[in-house]
Copies of this chain bind each other. A is one copy, B any other.
Amino acid sequence: MNIGQAAWRSGVSAKMIRHYESIGLIAPVGRTAAGYRIYADSDVHTLRFIRRARDLGFSVDGIADMLALWRDRSRKSAAVKKRALEHVADLRRKIAELETMARTLSELAERCHGDERPDCPILSDLAAGARASTLAHFDEFKLKKGNGFAPRRRGRA
């Protein structure tokens, strides 16, 4: 079958199939005399695997790992589980991050009148700026710069 049908059957767009081939996630498939890519059912199967992994939020690298494990019939399920749990941990981290944002922002919004008046704790918070999360970067910065960086007087700033 052509790439269009493979895309349709797998749920991976033709565009992405070509992309995945170009970055080496999937091996190049055969071509017709005219240069059209030819896909077999097994290729569609692989593409569905990829689609499903993508839906679970795996990165391309992660998908590559999972694909390799899938194809390795002597794999240990421990290896698969490990990968999966690492990914779950990543997801949880991300979720916690977003949760913090959402919580902070809805707390601020709750305290906002939301009427005709201009005063609003949301803007006040943003304007105040220097708070916990915003202060963290000072350390990052000092660390990143190899330190010895602190409030030394800068030229004629």
Binding site for B on A (CB under 8 A): 1-2, 4-5, 8, 10-11, 45, 48-49, 51-53, 55-57, 66, 69-70, 73-78, 80-82, 84-85, 87-88, 91-92, 94-95, 98-99, 101-102, 104-106, 108-109, 112-120, 122-123, 125-131, 133-135, 137-138, 141, 154-155, 157
Is A134 a contact partner of B98 (Cβ separation < 8 A)? no
Given known pairs A80-B122, A105-B56, the reply for A2 and B154 (CB within 8 Å) is yes
Is A99 a contact partner of B95 (Cβ separation < 8 A)? yes
- Among B10, B78, B131, B155, point to the contact of A114 (Cβ < 8 A): B78
Q: How far is the CA of A56 from the CA of B129 in the complex (A)?
A: 11
Of chain B, the residue at the smallest CB distance from A48 is B129
Copies per complex? 2
Is A51 a contact partner of B122 (Cβ separation < 8 A)? no
Q: How far is the CA of A115 from the CA of B82 in the complex (A)?
A: 10
Q: How far is the CA of A4 from the CA of B141 in the complex (A)?
A: 11
